[in-house]
Chains A and B, each alone.
Chain A
Amino acid sequence: MASNELSSSVKIAAPPRELEREPLVLNNRPLGWISNQIVGIIEGKTPRWWWITFVISALVMLLCPIYIGYLITTGVGVWGLNSPIAWGWAIVNFVFWIGIGHAGTLISAVLFLLRQKWGTSINRAAEAMTIFAVMCAGIFPGIHVGRIWFAWWLFPLPNSNGPIWPQFRSPLLWDVFAVSTYFTVSLLFWYMGLIPDLATIRDRCKNFLGKFFYGLFSLGWTGSNRHWSNYEKAYLLLAGLSTPLVLSVHSIVSFDFAVSQVPGWHTTIFPPYFVAGAIFSGFGMVLTLMIPLRSIFKLHDLLTVRHIELMCKVTLATGTIVGYAYGMEFFIAWYGGNPYEAYCFQNRAFGPYWWAYWIMISCNVITPQFFWFKKLRTNVVLVWILSIFVNIGMWFERFVIVVTSLHRDYIPANWSYYSPTKVDVLTFVGTFGLFMVLFLLFIRFLPLIAISEVKGVTDYADPHHPRGGAKGGHH
C-alpha cells in the first residue's frame, strides 16, 4: 500500500512547457477586438476579390437552370444512364453533397455536447456550409424523378388519384423525411446561434436598412440574463435533437443501397461507414473553405493552427474508419463465399473502373495518413491541398459504390459501361456555382465566426483565470 499513500493528496502542477495547450484565441485578444475583427468583415467595403468570385460563381451557377431546363424539356435520356446503370451521377452528386452537409451540425451539436470548445471558431461557417450543401443535394433527387412535375409525389400528400401514395417501405422516401428534417433543424440551429451576433451587428450598424434587417432578425435580443438563459437551454435542446439527426441522415442514405440485394451494396457496415465518410468529407470541405478565408480576413488569432490540427485529426480518424470499412467489405466478400459479392469487389479494384477505385483509396485512405505527423498537420498550405484530395476522394467513393455495382450485375449479357454526358457534368459543376454564391453571400452579410461563442472560450470568460476576474494563483 506504500504507493497508495501517494494518493492521499494530489499534486496539481502546470503541464510541462511542451505539453501546454495552445489557447483557442491567440495573443490574449480582448473581447472588443474579437467583435471588431469579425464584424469588420461585414462592415468594411466589399473587396474586389469577392465581386470577381461572386460573378464567376453566379455564371457557373447558371449552368444549373440551363441544363436542368434542358433535362426537363427533353427527358433523362440526356444523362449517361443506360441499362443496367439506372443510377449515375445524379445519385453520386446527391450523396456527395449530403456528405458535405454533415460537418456543420456535427461540429455545432456533437462537439458542443462533448464540451469541445474548439468548435466555436468554425461552427458558424461549417453550419452555413451544411445548409448550402443540403440545398445543392436536394436538387438531384428532385430532377431524378424524370417527370419533375410529379416530384410532389415524393411527399405523402392526400390525393384523388386512386389514391396514390409513396412507397413507405422505400428508403428513398425515408430520405425525403430525413433530409428535410435535417435541413429544417440545421437551419433553425444555425439561425438561433446567429441571434446574439445579429444583435451585435445591429447595435453597431449605422445605416437604416442594416439596422432594420439585423434588428428584425435579432428578434429583440438585449443580452439580458433571461435571454441568455433561454438561449443556452434552447441551444442544448437543439444540440441534443440534432445529434441523432446527423447520424440518421447518412444512415438512411446508406440504406438507399444497403437494403437491396445488389452485390457491393448489401453490407451491414454501411450505416456507420457512410456516417464516418460524411464527417470525413464535411471536415475536408471545412478545411478547404476556412483556410483561405483565414488568410484573406486575417483570422489567424481566432482560427489558429490548433484548430486546423484538430480538424486534421478528425479527418484522420474518420478517414481511417472509412479505410477499415473498405477493408472489411473486401474481407467479408471473400469470407462470405458468395461468388457475386467476391466478383463485385475484384471488379471494383481491377475491372474497367479500377482508376476510380484507386483514386478513392488514395484520396480517402492514404491522404489522411499524412495527418499522423504534427509537422504536416501544422503546414497550413499542405493541409489545404490534402483537404482537396479528400473532397475528390469522397466524390469518387460514391461513384465507385453506385456505378461499379450496377454496371456488371447478375446477367453478363446486360453488362455495360457508364460514362457521364455533358449534361451530367455541367449540372454538377453548376451546383458548385450555387454553393459558392450562397457561401459568398453568407460571408458578406453574416458573421463568419460565432462572435459570442468565441468570446466564451477566452480567458476573460473563465472565472478561474486571473484575466477572468479570479484573484491569486489558482482557485
Chain B
Amino acid sequence: MSSESPQSSKPSLDLAKYANLPNQLIVGGAIGLLIGFFAWREQFLYSYLTAFMFFLSLVLGGLFLVLLHHLFDSQWLVPIRRICEHFAGLAPILGVLGLPVILIFAKSIYPWMAIEDPHSDHALHVKYALFNPTAFWVVSIALFVVWTWLANRLRKHSLAQDETGAATHTQAMRKYAAGGIVLFAFTLTLGVIYWMKSLEHQWFSTMYGVYYFAGSVWTTLATMYVLTALLQRTGHLAPVVRDSTFKDIGTLFFAFTVFYAYIHFSQYFLIWNAAIPEETFWYVKRENGIWWYLGMLIIFGHFFVPFLTMLRIDVKKKLTIMAPLAGWAWLMHYVDMTFNIKPVIDPEGHGISLSGMIQSIASMAFIGGFLAKFFLKSFITHAPFPQRDPRIAETMGVYVELESEAQAQTKSAKA
C-alpha cells in the first residue's frame, strides 16, 4: 500500500557557503540602522516601518497558504507547506523585531498620536475608541499573539503527523484553519489599518485590508517559487517537487497578479471617479513628484510585466524567467509599501535621498537577516516537507490502492 518515490535525486546546489549570509545581513543592517537612528531619525523610522510591513506580508502570506491548504484539502501545496508553516512561525520574531520600534516611537511615526487634544481633530475624535495609545499598544501586541498562536498550533500538528501519520492531526488542522481564516481576515485588516492606513488617519477605504492581503499573498508566492526551486536543487525538496508544483505556484502567482491589480484599480477608480476631497487627498499626494513615477511603476511593474510574462503556461515552469520575476515582485511589493508609507514624510515627492536609500536597505537587511536566520533554524531542525501528508500520493501523481478499494476487492473475492 505504500512505496518509495523514484524521484530522489542528487543535490546539484550547495548553499553551505552562504550559511553566514543572515548574520552578515543582520550586522550590516544594524550598522546602517544605528547611523540612521542618530543621523536620519525620520528616515530610519519610516524605512523600518516599510520593511516591517514588507516582511509582515511574507509571514501572513505563509499563514494564509497553510490555511488555504487545509480548508481546500488541496494536494499541490504539500511540497511547500512546511516552508509556509515556517514562514508563519516567524510571527513572534517579526513582532519582537518590529513592535518595539513601532510602539516606542509611535508618536514620531503616526501623526495622529502627536495631536495633543484628540477631540480637536474630527477624524481622530470619531474613532478615538480605536485610535488611542492604549488601544494601539494592546491591539498591536494582541495581533502578534493571535498569529503566533495560530501558526504554532498548525505547525505542531503538522510536525506530529510526520511521526504518527494519524488522520486526527489533519482533522485538527482543518478545524484550526476553519476558525483561523476568520481570525486571519479580522486581524490582518486591523493590523494594516493600525500600522499603515493610520499614517493618514483622515483617509479611509473599505478595500484597504483586501488590498494589503492581495499584495502580501502575491509576494509570498513569488518567494515560495524561488525557495522551492532552491530547495529542490539542494536536495531537500527533490523527492516531492515536480514540474506541476512550479506550474501550480506560478498559476496562483499569476492569479494574484490579476487579483491585486483588480483590487488596486477598483480602489483607485472609485475614489477618483467620486472625487470626494476627504478621499482623493490620499492619491493626490501620491501624484506629486517621485510618487507619480512610483505609481506608474506599480501599474506597469506590479501588473503588466508579470501578467504578460506569465500568460503562457510553459513560462511558469521556467526558472530562468520566474526567478528574476520573483525578484522583481519583491521590488514591486517594496515599492508598493513605500508608496503607502513614505509620502507621509515627503508629500511633495522630492525624490530618493541617500539617507532614505541607506535606511531602506539597512532595514530590509536587518529584519530580513533575522527572519532568514530563524527560518533556516526551523527548516534544518525539521523535515523539509510533510512526511506523511494524506494527499502525498495525489501530489506525486501516482495511484495507491485505497483501503476501501482493498476491502471491496476482498469482499467480492469472498463472494
Interface residues of A, Cβ cutoff 8 Å to B: 1, 3-4, 6-21, 113, 244, 247, 251, 255, 258-261, 266-272, 317, 320, 324-325, 328-329, 331-332, 334-338, 372, 462, 464-466, 470, 473-475
**Which residue of A7, A268, A334, A470 is within 8 Å of B236 (Cβ)?**
A7
The reply to whether the CB of B299 lies closer than 8 angstroms to some CB of chain A is no
- Chain B residues near A259 (CB, 8 Å)? 270, 273-274
CB of A464 within 8 A of CB of B270, answer no
A17-B388 Cα distance, complex, nearest whole Å: 14
Listed stretches B2-10, B99-107, B353-361; interface member: B2-10
**Contact of B118 with A by CB under 8 A:** no
Tell me if A8 and B398 are in contact (CB < 8 A): no
B274: contacting residue among A7, A8, A260, CB under 8 A: A260
Residues of chain B with a CB closer than 8 A to A337's CB: 122-123, 125-127
* Complex CA–CA separation, A266 to B279 (angstroms): 11
B160 at the A interface (CB under 8 A): no
Q: Find out whether the CB atom of A13 lies under 8 angstroms from the CB atom of B380.
A: no
- Contact between A269 and B392, CB atoms less than 8 A apart: no
Contacts of A17 in B (CB 8 A): 167, 403-404
**B145: CB under 8 A from chain A?**
no
- B314 CB-CB contact with A under 8 Å: no
Q: Given that A7-B236, A332-B204 are contacting pairs, would A14 and B2 also be in contact in the complex, using a CB cutoff of 8 Å?
A: yes
Q: Which A residues are CB-close (under 8 A) to B393?
A: 12-15, 474
Please, what's the 1-or-0 string for B110-125, where 1 marks a CB less than 8 Å from any CB in chain A?
Answer: 0000000000001101
CB < 8 Å neighbour of A269 from B5, B178, B207, B237: B207
**Which residue on chain A has the smallest CB distance to residue B79?**
A10
Query: Do the beta carbons of B5 and A332 come within 8 Å of each other?
Result: no
What residues of chain A lie closer than 8 Å to B4, measured between beta carbons? 9-12
The minimal Cβ–Cβ distance linking B60 to chain A, given in whole angstroms, is: 16
Instruction: Please report which residues of chain B, range 360-384, place their CB below 8 angstroms from some CB of chain A when the two chains form the complex.
Output: 380-384
Contact B127 A1 (CB under 8 A): no
B55 within 8 A of A: no
Find out whether the CB atom of B399 lies under 8 angstroms from the CB atom of A462.
yes
Residues of A within 8 A of B156 (CB): none
| 14 A-B interface contacts by CB (under 8 A) | A10-B387, A12-B5, A15-B167, A17-B404, A20-B403, A268-B270, A269-B207, A331-B206, A336-B278, A337-B125, A473-B3, A473-B400, A473-B401, A474-B398
Report the bound CA distance from A470 to B167 in whole Å.
28
A271 to B263, CA, bound (A): 8
Residues of A contacting B206 in the complex (Cβ-Cβ under 8 angstroms)? 267-269, 325, 328-329, 331-332
Name the B residues within 8 Å of A6 (CB-CB): 162, 383, 387
Interface size class of B (residues with CB under 8 A): 35 or more
Question: When chains A and B are docked, how far (Å) is the Cα of A12 from the Cα of B167?
Answer: 15
- Is B108 on the interface with A (CB-CB < 8 A)? no
Question: Are A261 and B274 touching (Cβ within 8 A)?
Answer: yes
Q: Closest Cβ of chain B: how far from A247's Cβ, in Å?
A: 7
B78 vs chain A, min Cβ distance (A) = 10
Which residue of B1, B178, B189, B193 contacts A14 across the interface (Cβ within 8 Å)?
Answer: B1
With A and B bound together, what is the CA distance between A473 and B398 in angstroms? 10
Complex: A261 Cα to B122 Cα, angstroms: 21
What 1/0 mask marks residues of chain B from 384 to 406 whose CB sits below 8 Å from any chain A CB?
Answer: 11011011110011111111100
CA distance A268 to B263 in the complex (A): 9
B2 lies within 8 A of A268 (CB): no
Which residue on A lies nearest to B73, using beta carbons?
A21
CB under 8 Å from chain A, chain B span 199-236: 204-210, 235-236
A-B contact count (CB 8 A): 177
B393 to chain A, nearest CB (A): 5
* Shortest Cβ distance from residue A192 to the other chain B in the assembled complex, whole angstroms: 20
| CB-contact partner of A13 in B130, B165, B182, B239, under 8 A | B165
Contact B399 A268 (CB under 8 A): no
B37: CB under 8 A from chain A?
Answer: no
Contacting residues, chain A, for B185 (C-beta < 8 A): 324
B400 & A258 in contact (Cβ 8 Å cutoff): no
Most chain B beta carbons < 10 A, residue from A8, A10, A324: A10
Q: B396–A12 contact, CB under 8 A?
A: yes
Please, what's the 1-or-0 string for B234-253, where 1 marks a CB less than 8 Å from any CB in chain A?
01111110000000000100
CB <8 Å contact, A13 and B1: yes
CB distance from B177 to the nearest CB of A (A): 11
Instruction: Given A13-B165, A247-B262, A255-B270, output 14 extra A-B contacts at Cβ < 8 Å.
Output: A4-B384, A7-B235, A7-B239, A9-B5, A10-B4, A12-B3, A16-B165, A17-B167, A270-B270, A335-B126, A335-B193, A338-B278, A473-B400, A473-B401
CB distance from B190 to the nearest CB of A (A): 10
Give Cα A475 to B398, complex, Å: 6
The winner among B4, B123, B207, B387 for most chain A CB atoms within 10 A is: B207
Distance, CA A320 to CA B71, complexed state (A): 14
Q: Are B270 and A272 in contact (CB under 8 A)?
A: no
Asked if B276 is an interface residue, CB under 8 A from chain A, the answer is yes
Contacts of B165 in A (CB 8 A): 13, 16
- Check if B309 is an interface residue, CB within 8 A of chain A: no
* Neighbouring A residues of B267 by C-beta, 8 Å: 268
- Tell me whether B126 and A334 are in contact (CB under 8 A): yes
* A13 and B2 contacting across the interface, CB-CB below 8 Å: yes
What is the chain A residue whose CB lies nearest that of B11? A8
Residue of A nearest to B166 (CB): A16
- Closest chain-A Cβ to B258's Cβ sits at a distance in Å of 8
Answer yes or no: B266 CB below 8 A from chain A CBs.
yes
Given A10-B392, A259-B270, A16 contacting B167 (CB threshold 8 A): yes
Closest to B408 in A: A28
With contacts A324-B185, A328-B209 known, is A268 near B266, CB below 8 A? yes
Shortest Cβ distance from residue B213 to the other chain A in the assembled complex, whole angstroms: 11
In the complex, residue of chain B having the shortest beta-carbon distance to the beta carbon of A270: B270
Q: Is B271 an interface residue, CB under 8 A from the partner?
A: yes
Q: Are the CB atoms of B3 and A251 closer together than 8 Å?
A: no
By the criterion CB–CB under 8 Å, are B404 and A334 in contact? no
